[in-house]
């Protein structure tokens, strides 16, 4: 046996936060040292932060990244530690991993496969490192090897798969195993998406089995740069078995997952593979002197948290990911709390609940004092002796009534606010609405009527609610949260400068059908730790409504649009899967045979026309969180022209073909 202690570290970094990022890296190294760790893998680009965007092109950023690297190096005495940073070589910029060994820089490895799909944009900033290339780079007057390298550290050979390098079909590990590596380090910045962690588990396990290596995976955690949430989830595997796993969606700023591994056992599993043929060439092997201390065997520690074993994993993940994203956004933006315009409907109730959970979950994990310390820039209320007290200090909700508001929504809003411990205020904005109507009607010389001016009269109510809620948020130095969801964004069923007002739109990445399902689950079951919130029954019992027309109109969202499950099905097919109107019609005919052709055609035409007309609204949404591969955010995921032909020809063709009752070719 050759036993050694290895660890994976997850870090909650912030782009360009040089001192903060360094401090968290040093804290992780010290924690690993206290656990007698010899090899520590830290996340991709952890020195600069992953989400630096075009700041990667700044020479000053590259200079400071090297300076911080040099400051970190001495703390690795007696250890092997990998850290990530951008590195310039011969006029090209690379995403690099640096291996620090016993207080010194051993060398750098360049990322071979760049993430350029979805929210990732790495090819904009970085070049792919070419296979088998090797150069020298200068750091603080000394030259170090940079290339497609492996490192022989005291007889243990270490190689790198940097995040995307492991996600591609021809993953780098296939080459590393031929070069005789004993351990693969995977420093990653892999953002959260529903069920994505299961995919990571598979490639970590399969990498350790197929390559006959110890596989160490690290990741970022938290809301690093605004839109993407990282879920951590450190993993260490050997011989196809997961031997250690770290927590996901933790509030800790750094967390170490450590375990003793048997490198010799991994080697022998490779030796028993009759298909394995190693390369008998030591090119690009960097030999580094290192002495591993003796280790004792220990039991694996790969038991996931109770919530990760829940049959309602998506609901648990949604709550925890958005809550952590909100908490980090609050503290990193130095906001002094949250403000939510609480209408008594599903969307605002979800945002208020998630805002409260952002504090409750942090306190449940780290304790009240630790969370207060993280929010030390906010003057602490002397009465904030419990998590609910702290929520009450930080979360303000406001019900804004007009003559079209009902007692049902008012009571639902009040009940939700009380149940989550939020402050609850009420504004009556009807006089403002009537004043605007009077001003405009007087100028036009005619009375505004619901028969002639329906949409404008609805919108002015939503817009009249914006100035007061912004004023309150400004007075408190708080973050105003918008409450629009993805289904509304798809068809523009929202009032710009009204219900879209806010500095952050936390649920704009999730569909309305799931949101309603989640609220029902929160009402009846809730999170593993905290249980249900029965007060949500007052929201769940209602049909979703904008409540902007007179009460006699009995307005509902689905009457204005279409059933939300239909809207979401069309959106996924048309936007995520890029199907045209004819193909979406075929899909609906197969899954909704009970509906008439006329109804399906009406829904399809409504969706495609509204989608095309409302790209300008999606462009103006406040930043939203990325939660799955159905995002509509035009800045990071789904680009569509603001001006377009509006599917006119496609829809006309669809009507003609459907009316002829011919099958599609």
156 CB-contact burial (10 Å; exposed 0-12 / middle 13-18 / buried 19+): buried
Please, what is the Cα angle at 460 between 459 and 466, to 5 degrees?
Answer: 100
Indicate the pairing of strand 214-218 with strand 92-101: unpaired
pLDDT for 377 equals 87
Q: Which of 189, 270, 200 is nearest to 242 (CA)?
A: 200
Averages of pLDDT over runs of 10 residues in the chain (665 residues) are 94 98 98 97 98 97 98 98 97 97 98 93 96 94 96 96 95 93 97 96 96 97 97 96 96 97 88 69 86 86 87 97 98 97 96 98 96 88 84 97 94 97 97 96 96 93 96 97 95 92 96 96 95 96 85 85 94 95 94 92 96 96 93 91 95 82 48
Q: Given CA atoms 620, 622, 623, 625 in this order, what sign does their dihedral have? A: negative
| Tokens linked to 289 | 């002197």
Helix or strand run (H / E) with residue 64: helix 59-72
d(CA 554, CA 542): 12
Please, what is the Cα angle at 446 between 440 and 448, to 5 degrees?
Answer: 65
Q: Given CA atoms 646, 652, 658, 663 in this order, what sign does their dihedral have? A: negative
Backbone φ and ψ of 191, nearest 5°: -70, 160
pLDDT for 274 equals 64
pLDDT for 91 equals 94
3-state SS string over 224-251? CCCCCEEEECCEEEECCEEEEECCECCC
* Helix/strand number for the chain, H first, E second: 23, 21
pLDDT for 548 equals 84
The total number of residues shown for the chain amounts to 665
Q: Which of 233, 235, 240 is nearest to 307 (CA)?
A: 233
Domains and CATH numbers, the chain: 3-304 (3.60.110.10), 310-552 (3.40.50.620), 562-665 (1.10.10)
Secondary structure (3-state) at 397? strand
Secondary structure (3-state) at 468? helix
d(CA 372, CA 361): 13
């Amino acid at each position: 046996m050759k036993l050694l202690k290895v660890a994976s570290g997850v870090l909650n970094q912030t782009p360009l936060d040089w001192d903060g990022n360094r401090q968290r890296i040093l804290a992780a190294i010290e924690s690993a040292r206290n656990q007698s760790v010899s090899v520590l893998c830290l996340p991709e680009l952890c020195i600069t932060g992953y989400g630096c965007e075009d700041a990667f092109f700044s020479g000053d950023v590259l200079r400071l990244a090297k300076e911080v690297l040099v400051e970190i190096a001495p703390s690795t005495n007696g250890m092997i530690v990998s850290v990530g940073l951008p590195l310039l070589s011969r006029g090209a910029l690379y995403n690099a991993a640096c291996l620090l060994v016993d207080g010194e820089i051993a060398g750098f490895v360049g990322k071979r496969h760049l993430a350029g799909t979805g929210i990732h944009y790495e090819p904009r900033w970085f070049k792919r490192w070419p296979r088998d290339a090797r150069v020298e780079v200068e750091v603080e007057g000394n030259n170090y090897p940079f290339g497609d390298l492996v490192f022989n550290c005291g007889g243990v050979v270490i190689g790198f798969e940097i995040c995307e390098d492991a996600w591609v079909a021809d993953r780098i590990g296939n080459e590393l195993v031929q070069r005789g590596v004993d351990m693969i380090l995977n420093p990653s910045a892999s953002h959260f998406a529903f069920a994505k962690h299961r995919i990571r588990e598979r490639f970590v396990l399969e990498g350790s089995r197929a390559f006959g290596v110890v596989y160490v995976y690290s990741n970022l955690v938290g809301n690093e740069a605004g839109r993407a949430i990282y879920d951590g989830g450190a993993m260490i595997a050997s011989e196809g078995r997961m031997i250690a796993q770290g927590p996901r969606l933790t509030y800790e700023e750094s967390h170490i997952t450590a375990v003793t591994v048997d490198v010799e056992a991994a080697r022998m599993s490779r030796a028993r593979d009759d298909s394995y043929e190693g390369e008998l060439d030591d090119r690009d092997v960097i030999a580094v002197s290192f002495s591993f201390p003796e280790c004792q065997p220990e039991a694996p520690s790969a038991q996931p948290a109770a919530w990760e074993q829940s049959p309602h994993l998506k609901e648990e993940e949604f709550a925890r990911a958005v809550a952590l994203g909100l908490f980090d956004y609050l503290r990193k933006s130095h906001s002094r709390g949250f403000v939510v315009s609480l209408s008594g409907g599903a969307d605002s109730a979800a945002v208020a609940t998630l805002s409260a959970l952002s504090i409750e979950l942090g306190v449940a994990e780290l304790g009240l004092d630790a969370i207060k310390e993280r929010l030390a820039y906010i003057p602490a209320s002397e009465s904030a002796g419990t998590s609910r007290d702290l929520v009450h200090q930080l979360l303000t909700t406001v019900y804004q009534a007009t003559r079209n508001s009902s007692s049902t929504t008012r009571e639902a809003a009040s009940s939700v606010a009380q149940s989550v411990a939020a402050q609850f205020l009420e504004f009556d904005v009807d006089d403002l609405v009537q004043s605007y109507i009077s001003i405009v009607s007087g100028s036009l010389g005619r009375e505004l009527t619901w028969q002639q001016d329906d949409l404008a009269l609805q919108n002015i109510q939503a817009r009249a609610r914006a100035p007061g809620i912004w004023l309150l948020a400004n007075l408190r130095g708080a973050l105003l949260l918008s409450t629009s969801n993805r289904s509304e964004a798809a068809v523009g069923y929202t009032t710009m400068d009204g219900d879209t007002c806010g500095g952050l739109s936390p649920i704009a990445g999730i569909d309305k059908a799931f949101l309603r399902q989640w609220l029902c689950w929160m009402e009846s079951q809730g999170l593993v730790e905290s249980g249900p919130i029965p007060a949500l029954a007052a929201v769940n019992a209602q049909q979703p409504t904008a409540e902007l027309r007179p009460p006699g109109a009995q307005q509902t969202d689905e009457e204005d649009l279409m059933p939300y499950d239909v809207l979401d099905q069309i959106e996924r097919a048309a936007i995520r899967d890029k199907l045209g109107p004819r193909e979406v019609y075929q899909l609906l005919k197969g899954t909704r045979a009970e509906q008439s052709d006329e109804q399906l055609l009406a829904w399809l035409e409504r969706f495609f026309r509204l989608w095309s007309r409302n790209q300008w609204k999606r462009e103006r949404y406040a930043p939203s969180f990325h939660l799955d591969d159905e995002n509509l955010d035009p800045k990071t995921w789904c680009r569509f022209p603001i001006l377009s032909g509006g599917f006119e020809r496609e829809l006309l063709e669809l009507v003609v073909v459907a009316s002829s009752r011919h099958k599609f070719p």
